Structure 1
């Protein structure tokens, strides 16, 4: 196997491997949007497995160090975000509070959509027992849910599902990480037993 000349690689603009993290950090910062692992691997000119190892290591470093940002992975896309404990200070800078809490109705609606997606508004209404029009509008405005096609029945009602913003807001990497509903049933049964 031919030995790689690091100096030659650097002169050609190809990273030697020691500054991959720096390059990834700069690219993610400049992008501002999530980048797929495939895209990152292409940029740093290595295979996806190696890029994933570097990114996983970076996630650990950001979490361990006292930094104002962290690296997250959502559906195989990576993004730099503000740590939750610093969001109030960033809001002061932006003079907005986009993370206003959701109403009870919006939270119920979001929970139903997250577990039953894709789902129609009518199905959400039936589960909740009340209309959910306003809650769905609020969730769409906040970018937590989106239209995801139409059901193939007369009237073709809109189907709703959660977004990557939902995953980011609740610090979930993908939908498989949602707690199983069985966990909630066990907790509720335990609290009911304590009341007796």
Structure 2
């Protein structure tokens, strides 16, 4: 593979400006294997490829450029496009703010759906009814009928908004539980609310009310009592 697309991908993926030394270290072994004579030759090839990238992104009909910032390289929008980018940013939805109990509940629903509140509470070891309303309000979950058991508890599943939030085609693309927990932490890291489980209690009534409105008693959907899907094979 050509060196230039590798550098382009590295700079694009970097969260902070990446230095020349960091780039050299990342591609050193592959360049030596491709015939670079020594470290000086590796550095020279990297500089040449970076110059080509600068030229590629420097043409007027590109909205992105590669800039040297704080001693490193990063991609950014060109100044002449800032107005349209600013307008786009203002049109975005505000960040979703969730408590840790809500995130735990969301993870259980994602991997065990469709699932009832008692089942969620049993898995988590605490009463989870209070956070259901929050997830319903955020449109991350929705009702999925009622389970055909005594009491006919309401079933919950994830929504299209959930898929959009996590960049999934469908729930069959859910990663392992460990990877999902990491994904959740990264997606909501700046939006976590330090709310204790007990602080969610007042939402319990709202959760019940919201669920009852979503699935009126006269319009129940029968759902077979199939075992919950495992994380390796989540429900569609």
Per the shorter chain, which TM-score range?
0.3 to 0.5
TM-score computed with the length of structure 1 as normaliser: 0.45
Greater C-alpha Rg: 2
Higher RCO (CA 8 Å, separation ≥ 6 residues): 2
TM-score, scaled to structure 2:
0.38
